[in-house]
Amino acid sequence: MRSSRYDYFLDDHYAALRSLVEEFAHDEVAPKAAALDAAEEFPYELVAQMARLGLFGLPFPEEYGGSGGDYFALCLAVEELARVDSSLAITLEAAVSLGAMPIYRFGTEEQRRRWLPPLARGERLGAFGLTEPGGGSDAGATATRAVPDGDGWRIRGTKAFITNAGTEITSVITVTAITGQRDGEKEISSFIVPVPSSGLTVSPPYSKVGWHASDTRQVFLDDVYVPADHLLGDRGRGYANFLAILDEGRIAIAALAVGLAQGCLDEALRYAGERHAFGRPIGAFQAIQFKLADMAARVHTARLAYYDAARRMLAGKPFKDQAAIAKLYASDVAVCNARDATQIFGGAGFINETPVARFWRDAKILEIGEGTSEVQRMVIARGLGLPT
């Protein structure tokens, strides 16, 4: 268990939440994480427990079924979960910051009252359909199209790498689609697509390197009909709105990366005290001490970066650049700490029975998902005023 040495940054209610989720992660998640990972099994029971704790509603007002907290509270919960299991952490992060948040940020009052309460209570999960097979980091290369049909729209296209798209409790996928031309450019709008819908199918789960217990699939939309009131936000603002959602999401992904990096440090510290070589605990050797010191320094700095971005966001200040910095740095820290923890474990770290092997497999995607490291550098460079 981590001491409270970081809680001096936090107001009492944040510290209490962090402690609550830490206890849940330690007592309920950690004992099950390895088995769920090995079986590639979605953690329905743990998701239900998180719902009862109110974690899916953390940033939403109580009037929409939420807990009345804020986005920083969500990030604290994601960090603590990721210390023991990134699959569960990404399930929460994607359900809230990607699945439900677009409806809260850009939906009409009727849409919020209709769709948000079951998502905020954790009874249902939402998914975020932006990425396409031919697009990747070029989110503007959207090929999915929506054409008017009577009092609604018909949507045709494919979305790729969509988290929470095919669970038994998925109820909605928000998707972007071309709805016309504006000033010679694609007009991209966003829509609420209920699950199930006629013409909507999802692939079997991907066979992934990591995040084995999370749900990730392709989504196929074959003339899916949605009524006019399922348009999410203003027509033509879908691309811009979804990019704004990603700016926020990068703070939460940074928190997840910090949690994984902290988990690597936790495990490596424990092992360095237990494993003996040449008659001494390996933690007595300077080579190991220096690795652990570097790991601790990385975690500390990455945590400060995402705290800063979150505080700016909550204060209504510009945070786009700080979110990109936090995501870029924290994801690199996660990969580095996973590598060093594996090295400290030696051969045992290459065996899937050890948590650090799972952390190692889970870390790499953090440099890719919700904006690659290269995209983060582009964002940061633009913020510096460099030519585009």
Please report the DSSP string for 286-347 in residue order. HHHHHHHHHHHHHHHHHHHHHHHHHHHHHTT---HHHHHHHHHHHHHHHHHHHHHHHHHHGG
319 pLDDT above the threshold of 50: yes
Number of domains in the chain: 3
Task: Verify that 118 and 150 share a domain, yes or no.
Answer: no
Q: What is the mean pLDDT of residues 277-287?
A: 97
Contacts of 227 (CB under 8 A, 6+ apart): 151, 152
Res. 79 pLDDT band, cuts 50 70 90: very high
Task: Verify that 81 and 162 share a domain, yes or no.
Answer: no
Domain boundary at 100, 122, 144, which?
122
3 pLDDT above the threshold of 50: no
Task: Verify that 244 and 231 share a domain, yes or no.
Answer: no
Structure confidence by residue, pLDDT tens digits, 179-215: 999 888 999 999 999 999 999 999 999 999 999 999 9
State the chain's mean pLDDT as an integer. Answer: 96
**Has 23 been annotated as catalytic?**
no
Task: Verify that 245 and 376 share a domain, yes or no.
Answer: yes
Nearest to 382 by CA among 338, 321, 315: 321
* Assigned domain for 388 exists: no
Q: What is the pTM of this model?
A: 0.96
Domain boundary at 208, 236, 264, which?
236
Task: Verify that 244 and 361 share a domain, yes or no.
Answer: yes
Task: Verify that 79 and 52 share a domain, yes or no.
Answer: yes
Question: How many CA atoms lie within 13 Å of 237's alpha carbon, on the beta-carbon side?
Answer: 12
Report cis status (omega within 30 of 0) of the bond before 194.
Answer: no
CATH of the domain at 227: 2.40.110.10
* Assigned domain for 1 exists: no
Task: Verify that 118 and 132 share a domain, yes or no.
Answer: no
82 pLDDT above the threshold of 90: yes
4 pLDDT above the threshold of 60: no
CA-to-CA distance for 69 and 335, rounded, in angstroms? 30
Options 28, 187, 370, 374, the catalytic residue: 370
CA-to-CA distance for 165 and 174, rounded, in angstroms? 10
* Length of the chain in terms of residues written: 388
Domain boundary at 70, 92, 122, which?
122
Chain centre to alpha carbon of residue 247 = 12
Which two tokens mark 3?
């001491």
* Assigned domain for 107 exists: yes
Task: Verify that 94 and 146 share a domain, yes or no.
Answer: no
* Structural domain boundaries enclosing 150: 126-236
Task: Verify that 110 and 130 share a domain, yes or no.
Answer: no
CATH of the domain at 91: 1.10.540.10
Structure confidence by residue, pLDDT tens digits, 132-160: 998 777 777 899 999 999 999 999 999 99
